[in-house]
Amino acid sequence: MRMISGKRYYGNDGDVTDVEEAKQFRKLIKELLGYGGANNPEDFMPTLLKLIDFNGVTKKLRSLAKRMDALLQGLIEEHRNKNKEESNTMIDHLLSLQHADPQYYTDQIIKGLLLQVLLLAGTDTSAVTLEWAMSNLLNHPEVLKKARDELDQHIRKEDSLIDEPDITKLPYLQSIINETLRLFPAAPLLVPHLSSDDCTIGGYDLPRDTILLVNAWAIHRDPNLWTDPMSFKPERFECPGEANKLISFGLGRRSCPGMGLAQRTVGLTLGSLIQCFDWERVGEEEIDMTEGKGVTMPKVIPLEAMCKPRPVMRKITSMEALGNI
Ligand code: HEM
């Protein structure tokens, strides 16, 4: 949200911009993601069940949409009334596009882009992938060490931090992300598709207008496709072509348009966490890897870990304190 609106909504109360607004935002996002993963019987018997609003989902969704719309409209108005020189957020940029092309960039379109593309499709997917990646690393210290060695070898200067161009030159870090997306895809059933015509998939005849869910989670663990599928082994991606078997971002025309951005942000954040801190589990026992419900497959038990700054971090913070950065 800091990129989108310049406000911080997550963290401790002392860190967020407006405690009440932050609480309201977090509650709305949680509700929204919960409904995204819900199996709604109305989708399967629309005519009959919609009439009686079978389990009240439609009503709850309408109320949720109204509250979310009001929050986003409030943010747009705040930015509209702000001094443009002071602010450089995504809302500001979308408002300047509105200025140039008011017919297309209406408030409605801006709210849709903010909510669906940036917040729903872009944020939680990348955040849960990072959490699963860190959990895997903490359960496999030898992999964590290998990743740290790769980073230290590549970034030799002791006061330099990993930057975006480094990511493509860190194949082991990339393999860790691929292996995380294989075992814990952030969209395990991708996004529901609807057949626009009669078709045959995998020997099954699908009439037009059938909802089709692709079980990426199961395909990524299929022993006919992967050797030792249940084990976390980033090295498997050293074999050319293995990464092409992943469908964590979907395939074809409706595949994820944010794939490049996600790979950069997850790579840069994970690389920075490994480069800047030494990590350990809180206790002796392994991190629990049980998957929870929800459209982006969160962990049932959120990750908790201990970290200690590495020398590069200490160097950079002391240079910062001296005003050299
Ligand atoms: C690790 C991070 C991410 C994962 C695993 C992921 C995965 C996916 C998947 C599986 C789909 C559906 C593809 C299909 O059904 O065939 C999708 C769609 C989409 N993603 Fe992502 N995504 C991620 C990050 C992002 C980011 C950062 C953005 C944008 C900022 C984004 C924007 C979208 C949009 C707009 C769609 C809908 C595309 C359409 O319906 O045509 N995603 N994503």
In which element (H, E) is residue 279 found? strand 277-281
Helix locations, 170-240, DSSP H: 171-183, 216-219
Residue pLDDT tens, the chain, 325 long: 888 888 888 877 777 778 888 898 889 888 887 777 656 777 777 777 777 777 788 888 899 999 999 999 999 999 998 876 667 899 999 999 999 999 999 999 999 999 888 888 888 899 999 999 999 999 999 999 999 999 999 987 777 899 999 999 999 999 999 999 999 999 999 998 999 999 999 899 999 999 898 999 999 999 999 999 999 999 999 999 999 999 999 999 999 999 999 999 999 999 999 999 999 999 999 999 999 877 788 899 999 999 999 988 877 777 666 665 5
What does the CA dihedral 302, 28, 24, 83 come to, rounded to 10 degrees?
A: 110
Please state the atom number of ligand 1 nearest to the C-alpha of residue 128. Answer: 1
- Kindly state the DSSP code that residue 30 receives in the 8-state scheme: H
Please tell me the distance between residue 97's alpha carbon and the centre of ligand 1 in angstroms: 23
Residue 134 and residue 279 in contact, taking contact as beta carbons nearer than 8 Å: yes
For ligand 1, whether the C-beta of 187 sits within 6 Å is yes
Residues 6+ apart with CB under 8 A from 292: 298, 299, 300
* Whole-prediction pTM: 0.88
How does pLDDT run across 126-178, given as a tens digit for each residue?
Answer: 999 999 999 999 999 999 999 999 999 998 777 789 999 999 999 999 999 99
Task: Give helix 259-276 / helix 171-183 axis angle, nearest 10°.
Answer: 110
Model pLDDT, residue 74: 93
16 close to ligand 1 (CB < 6 Angstrom)? no
Q: Cα(187) to centroid of ligand 1, in Å?
A: 8
Tokens found for residue 84: 């443009």
Q: 120: CA distance to ligand 1 center in Å?
A: 9
Span from the CA of 152 to the centroid of ligand 1 (angstroms)? 32
Please tell me the distance from the alpha carbon of residue 285 to that of residue 281, in angstroms, as a whole number.
Answer: 8
Distance, first Cα to last Cα, the chain = 25
pLDDT score at 323: 64
Nearest to 61 by CA among 74, 72, 48, 50: 50
Q: What is the DSSP string of 92-158?
A: HHHHHHHHH-TTTS-HHHHHHIIIIIIIIIIIHHHHHHHHHHHHHHHH-HHHHHHHHHHHHHH--ST
- Tell how far CA 305 is from the center of its chain: 20
Q: Is 312 exposed, middle or buried (0-12, 13-18, 19+ CB in 10 A)?
A: buried
Q: Whose CA is nearest to atom 7 of ligand 1?
A: 249
Tell me which residue has its CA closest to atom 18 in ligand 1.
256
Query: Is the CB–ligand 1 distance for residue 262 below 6 Å?
Result: yes
CA distances 260 to 84, 94, 112, 236, Å, are 29, 21, 21, 22
Residues that constitute the known binding site for heme: 256
Nearest to 274, CA basis, from 104, 92, 124, 140:
140
User: With contact defined as beta carbons under 8 Å apart, do 259 and 284 qualify?
Assistant: no
